Structure 1
Amino acid sequence: MVEILAMLSASAAAGLRIGIPLLIIGLLQGSNLWSQTPILSHISPKILLCLLTSWSLLEFFGSKKLLGQRVIQVVELLLSPLVGAIMGLAVASATDTPDWLIALTGGLLALVLQLVQIGWFYRLRGLPLWAAFLQDTLCIALVLFAFDAPWQGGIIALVLLWFAVRSAKQWYDWRYQKNNIY
C-alpha cells in the first residue's frame, strides 16, 4: 500500500510539472543519475541533466507569465502522461503490482491533473502568480514525500484528484448555467 501511495505522489508531481520531478528523482539517486529510472536510464546522464535543468528553469520562470504558461501547458499536456508513468515506475519498483498498471495509473493521474490546470487557465484567463508558486512548491513537496513520507504524499495526491473531480463538476455547472442564460 505504501508503494502505491508513493506512486500516486510522484505521478501527481508529474501532473503539475514535468522537468522538476524528473530532475529531483535523478539527483536523489546520487552518483547513479537516473540509473534506476525506466526509459531515462538509457539516455546519457549529462544530456538528461542539461535538458532537465533547462526545462525546469523554463518551467519555473516561464510559468509566471501568460505566454510562458501557454507554451508550457502545450508541452506538458503532451508529455505529462509519459512522465507520470515514468515517475510511478521509478518510485513503485518494490511492489507486486504489474508495471503496466502502475504506468497506466501514474500516466492517467498526471494527465488528469494537467487537464485541470488547463481548465483553470481557460476559466481564469491565465493562472495568477500565487498559483504558479503553489504549483512549484507542491510539485517539489510531492516528489520528496514520495520517498520520505509516502502516506502524506499519497493523501495529498488523492486530495488533488478530489479537487479535479470537483473542478469538473463546477465547470459543468458553469457551462450549463451559461447556456441557459440565452
Structure 2
Amino acid sequence: MIEILATLSASAAAGMRIGIPLLIIGLLQGSNLWSQVPILSHISPPILLGCLTSWSLIELFGSKKLWGQRSLQLVQLFMSPIAGAIMGLAVANATATPNWLIALIGGLLALVLQLVQVGWFYRLRGLPLWAVFLQDTLCVALVLFAFGAPWQGGLIALILLWFAVRSAKQWYDWYWQKSKKLGVRS
C-alpha cells in the first residue's frame, strides 16, 4: 500500500512539472544518478543532468509569464504521461504490482492533473502568479514525500485528484449554464 501511495505522490509531481521531479529523483540517488530509474538509466548521466537542469530552469522561469505558461503547457500536456509513468516506476520498484499497471496509473494521474491545469489556464485566461509558485512548491514537496513520507504524499495526490474531479464538475455546470443563457441547445 505504501508503494502505491509513493507512486501516486511522484506521479502527481510529474503532473505539475516534468523536469523538476525527474531532476530531483536523480539527485536523491546520490552518485548513482538515475541508475535505478527506468528509461532514464539508459541515457548518459551528464547529458541527462544537463537536459533536465535546463528544462527545470525553463519550467521555473517560463511559467511566471503568460506566454511561457502557454508554451510550456503544450510540451507538458504531451510529456506528463510519460514523466508520470517514469516517476511511478522509479518509486515503486519493489512492489508486487505489475510494472505496466504502475506506469499506466502514474501516467494517467499525471495527465489528469495536467489537463486540469490547462483547463484552469484557459478558464482564468492565465494562472495567477501565486498559483504557479504553489505548483512549484507542491511539485518539489510531492517528490520528497514520495521517498520520505509516502503516506502523506499519497494523501496529497489523492486530494489533488479529488480537486480535479470537482473542477471537471464545476466546468461542466458552468458550460451548461452558459449555453442555457445563450440559448444553445445540444
Shorter chain as denominator, the TM-score bin is over 0.9
In the TM superposition, what is the alpha-carbon distance from 1:34 to its structure 2 partner? 0.3
Q: Which amino acid aligns with 1:9?
A: S
Q: Give 1:90's aligned residue.
A: 90
Q: How far apart, in 2, do the equivalents of 1:144 and 1:134 lie? A: 15
Q: How far apart, in 1, do the equivalents of 2:168 and 2:78 lie? A: 20
In the TM superposition, what is the alpha-carbon distance from 1:137 to its structure 2 partner? 0.0
Mapping of 1:115-134 within 5 angstroms?
115-134=115-134
Q: Which amino acid aligns with 1:28?
A: L
Q: How far apart, in 2, do the equivalents of 1:121 and 1:175 lie? A: 16
Q: Give 1:16's aligned residue.
A: 16
Q: Give 1:140's aligned residue.
A: 140
Q: Give 2:49's aligned residue.
A: 49
Q: Give 1:64's aligned residue.
A: 64
Q: How far apart, in 2, do the equivalents of 1:89 and 1:96 lie? A: 12
Q: Give 1:177's aligned residue.
A: 177
Q: Which amino acid aligns with 1:153?
A: G
TM-score (norm 2): 0.98
In the TM superposition, what is the alpha-carbon distance from 1:5 to its structure 2 partner? 0.1
Consecutive unaligned residues of structure 1, counting only runs of 5 or more, are none
In the TM superposition, what is the alpha-carbon distance from 1:117 to its structure 2 partner? 0.1
In the TM superposition, what is the alpha-carbon distance from 1:48 to its structure 2 partner? 0.5
Consecutive unaligned residues of structure 2, counting only runs of 5 or more, are none
Q: Which amino acid aligns with 1:80?
A: S
Please provide the CA RMSD for this pair: 0.3
CA offsets per residue over residues 51-89 of structure 1, 9 Å max, x none? 000000010010000000011100000100000000000
Q: How far apart, in 2, do the equivalents of 1:16 and 1:81 lie? A: 11
Q: Give 1:27's aligned residue.
A: 27
Percent of pairs identical after alignment?
81
Q: Which amino acid aligns with 2:164?
A: A
